[in-house]
Amino acid sequence: MYSSPSNPDLSGVIGSELIQIRMGVRDLQFHFESGWWLCCQGSAKLTIHEVQLCAWGPEGLSGPCFQTLLGIAPFSVAIVTTKRLELHFSGGQILAFIDDSEQFESLQIHQHGKPRPGVIA
């Protein structure tokens, strides 16, 4: 709904190991060693070399594969479109967050010690 800014602050995510993944009824959270986390209420997809491994969305989780990212730090971020933000991991793995809601925000960035998340999509 809000679309991604052209240069979101992900300084606490890039280079920080993914240490925990939490799944709720309506959200999927990715927690990093730095104390930052991304909370996705839209869709998320994990691909490797352009082949989709699994997805999260309104119908839930398509398969157990997000855990392959545990213990790995993303090395870069890409804003592909205003509706798609990607975290790039080693080995060709890409975690994409897709803003697919016309009514609600799809992704927030939370920082340890900050009272409000940064809504980015």
Tell whether the model's pLDDT for residue 97 goes beyond 80: yes
Residue 105 is predicted with a pLDDT of 77
Residue spans per domain, the chain: 18-112
pLDDT at position 14: 95
Lowest mean pLDDT among 12-16, 54-58, 109-113: 109-113
Closest Cα partner for 15 from 91, 64, 75, 59?
A: 75
- pTM, two decimals, is 0.88
Indicate the DSSP class of residue 35. Answer: S
Torsion of CA 104, 84, 49, 61, to 10 degrees: 0
pLDDT > 70: what percent of the chain?
88
Parallel/antiparallel/unpaired status of strands 18-23 and 60-61: unpaired
pLDDT over threshold 60, residue 21? yes
Tokens at 5, concatenated: 């800014």
pLDDT score of 116 more than 80: no
Each residue's pLDDT tens digit, 35-68: 999 999 999 999 999 999 999 988 888 888 899 9
Handedness of CA 9, 14, 19, 21 (dihedral sign): positive
Mean pLDDT, rounded, of the chain: 87
Quote the DSSP letter at residue 90. G
Distance between first and last Cα of the chain = 6
Question: CA-CA distance, 7 to 121, in Å (whole number)?
Answer: 12
- Mean pLDDT for the stretch of residues 3-8: 65
1 — pLDDT class (breaks 50, 70, 90): very low
Phi-psi region of 35 (alpha: psi -120 to 50; beta: other; left: phi over 0): left
Q: Which among 82, 80, 32, 27 has a CA at the least distance from the CA of 58?
A: 27
